[in-house]
Amino acid sequence: MTAVTVGQAFQQGLAEEMEADDRIFVLGTDLFIRGGHFAQVKGIGPRFGHDRVIDTPISEAAMVAAGVGAALNGMRPLIDLNFIDFAFGAMDEIANQAAKSSYLWGRPVPMVIRASSGVALYSAQHNNSLEAWFMHMPGLITVMPSNAADTKGIIKSALRSDDPVIFLMHKRLTGVRGEVGGPDELVPLGRAAIARPGSDVTIVSSGIVVNKVVKAAEVLASEGVEAEVIDLRTIFPLDAQLIEGSVRKTGRALVVTEEPPFASVASEIAAMVQEEVFDYLDAPVQRVTAAHSPIPHSPGLMEALIPQVETIVSAVRGSVERWPSTEA
């Protein structure tokens, strides 16, 4: 099995599903020839034709409305917004139309909105972390894979789901390589994964941050602290069972995300852990997030605002030192 990039994994998963289900089409800007800003659908246009890969004007409301209406009328659209920041221009269509139809009318909207997300270059207006916005909105599923295999497996599940799915691909993961599964290997929505087993502290993260956490876990292991790293994969519905089971075992939890801290995914998980497994905790649940700040252009400024391997390591060290484990 050969390793492919995250972008290629997405293309593979999409193409396989498009072959299997002619209701799936892709719609967005600069897709057919360019393949999108991240080459995320490169080659899909020529392969499937203009009825399956539809280029649009820069009209985000129209793009998502086209998806909602088409989904209600029997299709399974994948709407590509390029950057998740562009969802601001289509927020009514996402939050008030796509997310409400199942509840109000009993007809779900089987639509995937794919967008690149996460903190990378190009400053404040292209680097909003909106996963908590979507998590907050009843009627949406939000996913955020961290590697090639999950990207392929989750896009396949998303395209088969009857619910609207926000599919967030971290910009800095686009070219990262990994092995992927075959046409019949799906990664279910709503299921997290253990990226690294451990016994001393549970560290929850998603997307590219998982890679930083795994590196931090290696540093911690050299100091005698074994971290269990949980890769959320799906932001909502949360895999509470896996997280809680891990914290019962380790007695310590840390959530690491690239988003601003207030009313965040990290806050939600921290609240859930203390509500559900308080008795098992040796220490308060910690959050390591980005600052409450827009993202700047200059790389040094940008990196200063988001979690790094060292900040994750020192957060765990600080927890262990201040609240040592109490062995039963």
Tokens of 40: 């995320």
Q: Is 46 in the site for other proteins (CB under 8 A)?
A: no
Q: Is 112 in the site for other proteins (CB under 8 A)?
A: no
x/- track of binding to other proteins for residues 126-145 (CB under 8 A):
------------xx-x----
Q: Which of 19, 49, 105, 263 binds other proteins (CB under 8 A)?
A: 105
Q: Among the candidate windows 89-97, 112-120, 288-296, 319-327, which touches other proteins by CB under 8 A?
A: 89-97
3-state secondary structure of 115: strand
Q: Which of 51, 279, 321, 327 binds other proteins (CB under 8 A)?
A: 51
What is the arrangement of strands in the sheet containing 76-83, beginning at the earlier edge strand?
53-55, 24-28, 76-83, 112-117, 165-170, 141-143, 234-236
Q: Among the candidate windows 234-242, 256-264, 290-298, 319-327, which touches other proteins by CB under 8 A?
A: 234-242
3-state secondary structure of 43: coil
Q: Is 91 in the site for other proteins (CB under 8 A)?
A: no
Q: Is 250 in the site for other proteins (CB under 8 A)?
A: no
Smallest gap from Cβ 222 to other proteins, in A, equals 34
Is 170 considered catalytic here? no
d(CA 314, CA 242) in angstroms, rounded, equals: 25
Q: Which of 126, 136, 170, 297 is catalytic?
A: 126
Q: Would you put residue 32 in left (φ > 0), alpha (ψ -120 to 50) or beta?
A: alpha
Please spell the DSSP secondary structure of 103-168, one letter per residue. Answer: HHHS-----EEEEEESS-SS-GGG----HHHHHHSTT-EEE---SHHHHHHHHHHHHH-SS-EEEE
Q: Which residues contact residue 320 at a Cβ distance below 8 angstroms, ignoring those fewer than 6 apart?
A: 200, 201, 225, 252, 283
Contact (CB, 8 A) for 208 and 118: yes
Smallest gap from Cβ 101 to other proteins, in A, equals 8
Q: Is 188 in the site for other proteins (CB under 8 A)?
A: yes
Tokens of 208: 């590219």
Q: Is 56 in the site for other proteins (CB under 8 A)?
A: yes
Whichever of 76 and 212 has its CB closer to other proteins, that residue is: 76
Residues that bind other proteins (CB under 8 A): 25, 51, 54, 56-57, 59, 61-63, 65-75, 92-93, 96-97, 100, 102-108, 138-139, 141, 161-163, 188-191, 234, 236-241, 272, 276
Q: Which residues are catalytic?
A: 126
